[in-house]
Amino acid sequence: MQGRTRRALVTGGARGIGRSIAETLAREGCDVAILDLDGGAEREACASQVRLLGRQAWAGVADVRDAGQVNDAIEASVAALGGLEILVNNAGIFRDQVIWKMSDEEWRDVIDVDLTGAFHCCRAAVPVMRKSGWGAIVNIASINALRGKFGQTNYSAAKAGVVGLTKALAKEVARFQITVNAVAPGLIETPAIQNMPEEAKQKARGEILLGRVGRVEDVAETVAFLCSDRARFITGEVIRVDGGQYI
């Protein structure tokens, strides 16, 4: 991060893409707060790895659907690490179902975690970043926000909302030298895709021009770039990390 220690908070940071982002940011010189609703042991394992990389770590639990819990967690992480300049909104869930079978609960759960959760975190973090006069927010979206996907009206709608949130917020906070960008992964090898039907996985693999499923590191390295001084003239963008799957 070009010689100065910055403090980052990663939601959904206990495993998968979130853990890779947390560890990559630590290697880039950031102190890292790991926030997750589940995976207590995994949360602590990620924090331990951050410390092994020579950085400070804080691990906390919060349900991003709950604004009060988010506010408390960000306040605690700022107290522990001494500030907050980077926010990565990675927390997300799937509740796949065709719309005529989708329940109100399946719709609300995905919207509340994937979209409203990102809103809660941004709203709580921006005032802290404004005081620093520098900030970087990266929201994890999806290529399905841009193209839609069968059986994912809730997820596609939530992630499309994340894209809109990203672009609008970029306009609001640019004067404070805060950048806001989104990363839109394609099919990435995570525990979440292990529950996909094999036929759906094979179809998705067949769309990827580079001929392989993405790795969590592919996403994490892109996020780290957007959080660095190398990307200070990039804001309001959506960067696909999908091996050409969207095309």
Residue ranges of the domains in the chain? 6-240
In CATH, which superfamily holds the domain spanning 6-240? NAD(P)-binding Rossmann-like Domain (3.40.50.720)
Residues with catalytic roles: 155
Neighbouring CB atoms inside 10 A of 192's CB total: 14
Helices (H) and strands (E) in the chain, counts: 9, 7
Q: Which of 74, 77, 67, 91 is nearest to 12 (CA)?
A: 91
Is the pLDDT reported for residue 195 higher than 80? no
**Which residue reads 């719709």 in tokens?**
107
Q: What is the pLDDT of residue 3?
A: 56
Is the pLDDT reported for residue 152 higher than 60? yes
CA distances from 230 to 33, 174, 175 (A): 22, 16, 19
Q: What is the pLDDT of residue 2?
A: 52
Q: What is the pLDDT of residue 117?
A: 98
Read off the pLDDT of residues 214-239 as tens digits, 9 standing for 90 and up.
Answer: 999 999 999 999 999 999 999 999 99
- pTM value? 0.95
Read off the pLDDT of residues 46-93 as tens digits, 9 standing for 90 and up.
Answer: 999 999 999 999 999 999 999 999 999 999 999 999 999 999 999 999
